Structure 1
Amino acid sequence: MLLLNGITGFNVDALPEVDSLQFKRLCYSLANYSNGKILSFEEPHASQNFYKTELNLHNESIFILLNSSYPMVAFASSVQYFEIEFIDHTLSNMVSVLNDRFRVLSAIETNQQLELDDRTNSLLTENSLNEAELSQIFHWKPKTVGDVIFNFWD
């Protein structure tokens, strides 16, 4: 998967912001449609580059994450500081509704191992990241592509 310039939220000047209001509305619609309930909605902040919605669905929490710079969405079963468990969601209607407005990333994509070359301080995973982002990657040492797209770096 290509990691796009600015996806980490570092050294970004002219990237458009995602439509967070649309994302929030979609999450509430999905909750209503699925007989679920939104437990929380969190906006990006200094050490988190993504929106996070926690949805209770059939007595189980599921998280829907949206990158703050690009309209990329992922599902997670758990979101802890520096530890996200990315999953595929089984409700195809939820995925198709989100796919109309956002790119829904699969667990295979988000769990793809990040390939770092520590000898040359280069990233072997396909990318167009800027120097500030590459510096952050070598500082924080994320393990997966998902850890870059949805990060807790400050």
Structure 2
Amino acid sequence: MTVVEDEELLLAVLNSAPLVGGVPTEQLRGSTGRELVEQFGGTGTETEALHLRRTRDALQGMIREEGDAIEGLAAALDNAVLLPEATREGIRWRLDVPPEEQLAARAVLAWSQVLKELPGRLRACANTECNLFLLDHSRPGTARWCSMATCGNRMKVRAHAQRARRS
């Protein structure tokens, strides 16, 4: 898997509990969850979805700096081993982990890589009524919303309305 694919996996896992009508929904259950994990090469089993839900909750806690989420991340890596493979391009690291734990481990490894390569760029949406996350690849690093078309537009409309009321 590539770094970009694992960043996409990380965001898909983080954003798998969106708010719908102000209520968190669960996208890592049933056929929706199976489709999501199969998209990233997962098995689609309930055990795998359980590992992903626990990992998602831990990752969200780490990003939002809530509680002691580190234990959840450590649990996602309990059975994971990185094995070196020599190639003509240098050393490549292969993740060796039980199949039902692979996506959770990859998501945690992607989170760690993002922290190193893009510090401060993985964050929760600035819309407090949103439960999604963004990975800011913009040059200035000032993105605030998961989507400019939805949250960004809503927040700008609210700010404009507040300014208009004050005038």
Q: Same fold (TM over 0.5)?
A: no
Relative to total residues, which structure has the larger helix share, 1 or 2?
2
Higher relative contact order (CA 8 A, sep 6+): 1
Larger radius of gyration: 2
- TM-score normalised to structure 2 length: 0.28
Relative to total residues, which structure has the larger strand share, 1 or 2?
1
